Every structure is written in C-alpha cells, then in structure tokens.
C-alpha cells in the first residue's frame, strides 16, 4: 500500500474539490471560445485575429505548466492550487472589461498565467492522495469532470450569449465570482493526504526539468499529447464557429448538438481509467494507437458528413478516440514516475499539450481565411496531428530500462 494513500473520506473530499476546480477551470476557458462569435463582430476581428486571441491564453498557459509542476513538487500542491484558482478567477472577471483586440490579448495572456499551474499541481494532488493502482481511475475522474463542464458550459454559455449582449459580461463576472467562492472552500478543506508526508519523507533530491528531459518516455508522451491537443484545442476553438457558419445552426442548437460527442467522451474517459488500472498496465501504448486511429478515421468522415445527424455521429466517434488516447497519455506519468517528481514530469508533458493550444487556433484560423472560409484544410491539419500521435505511440516502451532509474516507480502488476 502506498504510504501516501489517504483513507476513503479524505480521497472523496479531495476528488470532489479537484473535480469542481476542473469544472470551473473548463467553464472559464470555453467561455471565450463561444463568446468570440459575437465578440469578433463587435470588434470586427478576422479569423486570424480570433485565433491570436485564443492562442494568447495558451502561450502563457504553456509557460506555466512546468513552472507550476516544479513548484507543486517543492511546496506541495495546496499552495500552488490556491494561488492559481484565485488568480484565474480575478482575470476571468477582468476579461469582461476588455475594450479592444489588444486588451483581449493581454487579458487572455494574464488569464493563462493564473490558470497554468493548476493542471500539474492537481496531478501532484492525485499522487499525494492515491496509490498507484487507483490513479488511472482518479485521473479519468478529473478528465471526465472537465468534459462534463464542457458539455454543460457550451450549452449554458451559448444560451446566455443569445439572451445577453457579451458587453454586459454577466457570465465572465459570474464565473469569476464562482471561482473565488471555490477558492474559499479549497483554503478551508483542501489538504491532500500526502502533503505532510511528502515534505517529511521525500528524497532530498527531486527530479529537475533538466533530468526529466533525459527520460525517453516523457518525450514520447509530450509529443503524443501535443498531437492529441492540436485536435482538442483546434476543435474547441473553431467547432462552435463551424457549426454556426457551415452547418447553419444557431448558438443554442450548436450548444445542444455539441453535448452528444462530449458525453460520449466523458463515458469513454471513465471506462479508460478503469481499464488502465485493471488490465492495461505495461500495454498502454495500444490504447494510444487505438484512440488516435479512431479519431483520424472519424474526422475524415466528419469533413464530408451529409447532414447534422452524421456530423453528430462522426463527432461522437472522434470524441471517443480522443478520450481513449488522452486519458491514457495523461495517466502514464502517474503510473511510471516517482511520486515526489510527478509535478515536474507532468509539467513537461502538459507543456507539449499547451503549446498545441498556442498553435492550433491560429493555424486553423489562418487556413480558414486562406481557403475563403472553408474548414476542410483545418480538419486535415487535425488529422495530420493525430497521425503523429499514432506513430509516436507505437514507439512507447514502459520497461524500467527505458526510463530514469532515479525518477521512476514502475507500477507492479501485483498491485
């Protein structure tokens, strides 16, 4: 039994708070992706400028991933998460006060700084609280919470925007206040079970980012997550516009249609987490390859789908494939990296994913503009990114000689 494992009550409390944090985190992120439709009309933004607004967040968000992970390894996840939650809530409120294209870019960049430490720090919280044999299910639970927020958020935000002009900023102010309220509950109740244990019992020398760069497995996971995230962030940024402009849906209908693929992805994440803990230890790469392949085929048929029901069906299959590959990729550091260094290792992997967030919205916006409003080239860009993830996934090895002896704890089948 992992010495940092918590009792059932502690685990439940930590998971509930982390899931709520991921949900608020996701709500705040996707708000701009839906709101950018009326915002672009208000400021007269081109598709490239819209992509730059969205990408400005991911630039700072990416920079903070390894920094936040290293800080969580050093000081424990609680302090880092509290700072992150308060900071991003404040900048969510300030987003509502944007007055120009430049102000939007600056505020979204600052928002990324505030939010960027949360993913890696929450990964450390899981390592502080759960034994290795339960971490796949724990991680899939967090991912599913984010997916659920995506389902509810897109529909709710689209409905709000259809009722209120975005300049009233009701939703940004409301979301920011919800985040500050949640920060209070974190301050009062969020004490990951292993926080004190890590400080007292962890080895004196933790893995640095320089050491993490020497681990082949982490490089592979970083590239895989980069490819998967190109699709995740590309579709998050441009799917609302695609459904409205190309498929002729209104905002509310678009939000409703988007829920079906998202729900399928949510269910798949939970199932994949269970599968990783029970049956796929040491064979995770097969899930990565399978997920990427399903995603590629689904996106190919999505492009030429003849009607909305087919769009929903192929979108659902794509969501299932992405969920399989994503859950597996982000769970592997929890399985194969030493608990005392998970923040640093995860920060490196997350960096790859968030760099994709910098690239994908802008590249897709540029392609759409260059092809006179056609989204086909943008979707082929997404398919190419999944192909990269598939090829690298085939090379993954999880034997102890492929990872750093100083930094890894291979998960035993006996657990």
- The secondary structure of the chain, three-state, reads CCCCCCCHHHHHHHHHHHHHHHHHHHHHHHHHHHHHHHHHHHHCCCHHHHHHHHHHHHHHHHHHHHHHHHHHHHHCHHHHHHHHHHHHHHHHHHHCCCCCHHHHHHHHHHHHHHHCCHHHHHHHHHHHHCCHHHHHHHHHHHHHHHHHHHHHHHHHHHHHHHHCCHHHCHHHHHHHHHHHHHHHHHHHHCCCCCHHHHHHHCCCCCCCHHHHCCCHHHHHHHHHHHHHHHHHHHHHHHHHHHHHHCCCCCHHHHHHHHHHHHHHHHHHHHHHHHHHHHCCCCCHHHHHHHHHHHHHHHHHHHHCCCCHHHHHHHHHHHHHHHHHHHHHHHHHHHHHCCHHHHHHHHHHHHHHHHHHHHHHHHHHHHHHHHCCCCCHHHHHHHHHHHHHHHHHHCCCCCCHHHCCCCCCCCCCCCC
- Please provide the size of the chain in residues: 415
Assess whether pLDDT exceeds 50 at residue 406.
Answer: no
CA of 20: how far to CAs of 6, 175, 249, 326, 401, in Å?
Answer: 19, 13, 30, 20, 38
Give the model's pLDDT for residue 292.
94
Domain boundaries, the chain: 8-402
Q: How many CB atoms lie within 10 A of CB 206?
A: 17
Assess whether pLDDT exceeds 50 at residue 197.
Answer: no
Region 89-118: mean pLDDT is 84
Do the Cβ atoms of 82 and 72 come closer than 8 Å? no
Q: Given pLDDT bands bounded at 50, 70 and 90, which one contains residue 207?
A: low
Average the pLDDT over each of 95-99, 265-269, 403-407 and give the range with the smallest value.
Answer: 403-407
Region 310-334: mean pLDDT is 90
Assess whether pLDDT exceeds 70 at residue 205.
Answer: no
CA of 392: how far to CAs of 226, 268, 388, 403, in Å?
Answer: 11, 22, 6, 16
Region 205-219: mean pLDDT is 72
Average the pLDDT over each of 73-82, 293-302, 355-364 and give the range with the smallest value.
Answer: 355-364
Give the model's pLDDT for residue 86.
92
Average the pLDDT over each of 184-188, 336-340, 371-375 and give the range with the smallest value.
Answer: 336-340
Tokens representing 248? 């002729």
The CA angle 84-90-96, to the nearest 5 degrees, is: 135
Q: Given pLDDT bands bounded at 50, 70 and 90, which one contains residue 288?
A: very high
Do the Cβ atoms of 120 and 350 come closer than 8 Å? yes
CATH number listed for the domain at residues 8-402: 1.20.1250.20
Tell me the per-residue pLDDT of 58-97, one tens digit each, with 9 for 90 and over.
Answer: 788 888 888 888 888 888 888 899 999 999 899 888 877 7
Evaluate if pTM is beyond 0.85. no
Give the model's pLDDT for residue 372.
79
What average pLDDT does the chain have?
Answer: 79
Give the model's pLDDT for residue 4.
44
Give the model's pLDDT for residue 169.
65
Give the model's pLDDT for residue 368.
83
Give the model's pLDDT for residue 317.
94
Instruction: Report how far residue 378's alpha carbon sits from residue 361's, in angstroms, rounded to the nearest whole number.
Output: 10
């Amino acid at each position: 039994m992992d010495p940092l494992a918590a009792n059932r009550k502690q685990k439940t409390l930590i998971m509930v708070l982390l899931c709520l944090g991921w949900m608020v985190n996701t709500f705040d992120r996707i708000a701009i992706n839906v709101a950018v439709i009326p915002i672009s009309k208000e400021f007269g933004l081109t598709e490239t400028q819209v992509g730059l607004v969205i990408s400005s967040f991911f630039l700072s968000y990416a920079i903070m991933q390894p920094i936040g992970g290293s800080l969580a390894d050093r000081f424990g996840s609680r302090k880092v998460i509290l700072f992150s939650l308060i900071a991003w809530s404040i900048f969510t409120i300030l987003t509502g006060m944007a007055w120009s294209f430049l102000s939007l870019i600056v505020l979204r960049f600052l928002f990324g700084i505030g939010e960027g430490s949360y993913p890696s720090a929450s990964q450390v919280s899981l390592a502080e609280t759960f034994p290795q044999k339960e971490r796949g299910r724990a991680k899939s639970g967090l991912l599913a919470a984010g997916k659920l927020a995506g389902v509810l958020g897109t529909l709710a935000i689209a409905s709000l925007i259809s009722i209120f002009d975005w300049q009233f900023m009701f939703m940004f102010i409301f979301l920011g206040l919800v985040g500050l309220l949640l920060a209070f509950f974190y301050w009062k109740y969020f004490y990951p079970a292993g926080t004190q244990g890590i400080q007292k019992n962890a080895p004196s020398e933790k893995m640095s980012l320089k050491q993490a760069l020497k681990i082949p497995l982490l490089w592979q996971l970083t590239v895989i997550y980069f490819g998967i995230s190109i699709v995740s962030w590309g579709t998050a940024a441009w799917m609302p516009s695609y459904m409205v402009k190309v498929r002729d849906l209104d905002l509310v209908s678009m939000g409703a249609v988007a829920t079906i693929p998202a729900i399928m992805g949510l269910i798949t994440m939970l199932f994949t987490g269970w599968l990783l803990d029970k049956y796929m230890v040491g064979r995770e790469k097969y899930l990565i390859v399978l997920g990427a392949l399903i995603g590629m085929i689904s996106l190919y048929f999505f492009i030429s789908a003849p009607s909305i029901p087919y769009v929903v069906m192929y979108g659902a299959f794509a969501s299932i494939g992405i969920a399989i590959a994503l859950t597996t990729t982000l769970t592997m550091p929890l399985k194969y990296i030493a608990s005392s260094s998970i923040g640093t290792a995860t920060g490196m992997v997350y960096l790859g994913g968030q760099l994709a967030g910098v690239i994908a919205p802008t590249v897709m916006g540029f392609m759409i503009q260059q092809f006179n409003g056609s989204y086909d080239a943008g979707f082929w860009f997404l398919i190419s990114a999944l192909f990269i993830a598939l090829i690298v996934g085939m090379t993954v090895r999880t034997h102890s000689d492929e990872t750093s002896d100083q930094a890894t704890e291979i998960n035993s089948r006996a657990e």
